[in-house]
């Protein structure tokens, strides 16, 4: 079973700042099977990044994903007010299709 | 427009049963795996179960194996989650979600419903 560890748990930042979120896998993961989701309060998650680095429909290019092996990163180049949310990574290469614990990006 | 509409949630006593449904429209249901993901109050996301596009393959997280059953009716574009022997720790919002890539269960989750709340309490 692949375990995904996200860090930090919470980030307190100001609009305009650059943010880097980490997702570390307990064993090597193909980039084809690493996804990121954004979730805002009271809403379902939205697919943000698939295949570790491909942006899903509707998200601007300030969002980017990178990484390989066991270390993956979600970067928001310049935080906008609508980006404050919780971000989850997910392994989707086989059962169990585990999620990381999430990183909350909150307004400082 | 893609829509995933969950129903069937509610309050149930420990040991009881519920069947969740998720009616899908707006894409070719038969080409995509479907999943259930839950979120306990104030907690993170937990993958629960996935069913392949044909329905021939099913997958479950360990904590629900033997108690939950996922199924689909491709003629009705609906996926189900039969939940038996419910426990307090099953209390959560249950989301259904569709796979991003067609014809594979190994896929991220592109479309999500709004969720249905299941509360297990006496």
Please tell me the predicted confidence (pLDDT) of residue B83: 98
Which whole number is the average pLDDT over A37-65?
Answer: 97
Q: What is the pLDDT of residue B110?
A: 97
Q: CA of A58, closest CA in chain B: separation in Å? A: 12
* Exposure b/e, A58-92, CB count within 10 A at least 16 = b: ebeeebebebeeeebbbebeebeeebbbbbbbbbb
- Name the residue among B62, B107, B112 with its Cβ closest to that of A92: B107
pLDDT at A18: 96
Q: For A10-33, how does the pLDDT look when each residue is reduced to its tens digit (9 = 90+)?
A: 999 999 999 999 999 999 999 999
| Nearest CA distance, B102 vs chain A (angstrom) | 14
According to the model, what pLDDT value does residue B60 have?
A: 98
Alpha-carbon gap, residue A76 to A96, rounded angstroms: 28
Averages of pLDDT over each 10 residues, chain B, 122 residues:
97 98 96 98 98 97 98 97 98 97 93 98 96
Q: Cβ distance B91 to B41 under 8 Å?
A: yes
Contacting residues for B119 by C-beta, under 8 A, at least 6 apart: B9, B10, B11, B12, B91
Residues 34-93 of B with CB under 8 A from A: 35, 37, 44-47, 50, 59-62
HEC string for B70-103: EEEECCCCEEEEEECCCCHHHCEEEEEEEECCCC
The number of C-beta contacts closer than 8 angstroms across A and B is: 61
The pLDDT assigned to A86 comes to: 98
- Residues of chain A in contact with residue B62, where contact means CB-CB under 8 angstroms, are 96
The number of helices, as runs of H, and strands, as runs of E, in chain B is 0, 11
pLDDT in tens, A74-96: 999 999 999 999 999 999 999 99
| Residues A77 and A83: beta-carbon distance below 8 Å | no
Beta strand pairing call for A46-50 and A54-55: antiparallel
**Residue of A42, A91, A95 for testing the chain B interface, max B β-carbons within 10 Å:** A95
Q: How far apart are CA B39 and CA B20, in angstroms?
A: 15
Q: Which residues of A touch B109 (CB under 8 A)?
A: 35, 37, 45, 47, 90, 92
Q: Determine contact, residues B94/B118, Cβ cutoff 8 Å.
A: yes
Phi, psi of B80 (to 5 degrees): -125, 155
């Amino acid at each position: 079973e692949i375990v995904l560890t996200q860090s930090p748990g919470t980030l307190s930042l100001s609009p305009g700042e650059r943010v880097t979120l980490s997702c570390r896998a307990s064993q090597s993961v193909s980039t084809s099977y690493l996804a990121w989701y954004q979730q805002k309060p009271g809403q379902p998650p939205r697919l943000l990044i698939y295949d570790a680095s491909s942006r899903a429909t509707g998200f601007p290019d300030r969002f980017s994903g990178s990484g390989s092996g066991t270390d993956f990163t979600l970067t928001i180049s310049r935080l906008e007010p609508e980006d404050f949310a919780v971000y989850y990574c997910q392994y989707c290469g086989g059962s169990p299709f585990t999620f990381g614990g999430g990183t909350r990006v909150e307004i400082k | 427009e893609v829509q995933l509409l969950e129903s069937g949630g509610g309050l149930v006593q420990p040991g009881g049963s519920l069947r969740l449904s998720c009616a899908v429209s707006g894409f070719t249901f038969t080409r995509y795996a479907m999943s259930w993901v839950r979120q306990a109050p104030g907690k993170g996301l937990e993958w629960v179960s996935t069913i392949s596009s044909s329905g021939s393959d099913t997958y479950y997280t360990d904590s629900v194996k033997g108690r939950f059953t996922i199924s689909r009716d491709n003629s009705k574009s609906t996926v189900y989650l039969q939940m038996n022997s419910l426990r307090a720790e099953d209390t959560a919002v249950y989301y259904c979600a569709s796979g991003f890539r067609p014809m594979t269960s190994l896929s991220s989750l592109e479309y999500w419903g709004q969720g249905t709340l299941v509360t297990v309490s006496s």
